Amino acid sequence: MWELGSGLAEAGWSAIAVDLPGHGGSGPAASYAFGDVADAIHAEFGGAYDLYVGHSLGGAVGTVLLARHPDTARRAALVDPALLVPDSRLAHIPAQLTADKALGVADVAAANPHWHPRTVEARVEATRAADLEAVTSWLTDNSPGDVTAAAAQVTVPVLVLVATSDSALAPSLVQQLPAANPHWSFETVPNTGHSVHRDQPALVLDRLLTP
């Protein structure tokens, strides 16, 4: 998310990038349950932030975080979050991660020609650093992949940016969740895959900066 972080900084914001357990430079956790991870994040970083941003898994964790700790942030923007993911999709993640670890910069650049070269390099580095055992534990500790009950309890405005292809978001939620909780709104971003922030960083940044 370096493009979002840089854009926020240029707009006068400060941003904290959190490595979830088993991702980036973060080590393993005793529990990968969304509630336990959310509590750990709140214990370390506190609350009263202007904005929470989360992509995919980070969107699911953020939803639980906002439900359990309403003081975390005044609003949130979730990028194609994994709020309700069928087990059939989740079952393919370990094999897909293993395959992706073998991809090089040229492979990722060819598949995503519009990505910034730094984004491509960061994607390759992050994928290779991802802990397969931790990812498997994430899936096991959070089966079924459903945080909609927590979503119904969120009390701050949440904007969800939805991919037009390969989305992790169950289509039914686009109508159902705002009906159950008016704090939620959805926007489908044209010409994007699951990594909406990599496909359309300028648009995503604009939404982050617009209350």
Range of the domain at 181: 2-209
Asked if residue 88 has pLDDT above 90, the reply is no
Total domains present in the chain:
1
Which residues does 129 contact at the CB level (< 8 Å), separation at least 6? 23, 24, 25
**76 forms bridges with which residues in the sheet?**
52, 158
The CATH code of the domain that includes 116 is 3.40.50.1820
Give mean pLDDT, residues 87-91: 82
Asked if residue 87 has pLDDT above 90, the reply is no
Return the pLDDT at 91: 85
pTM of the model: 0.95
| Residue 59 DSSP SS3 | helix
Give mean pLDDT, residues 109-128: 96
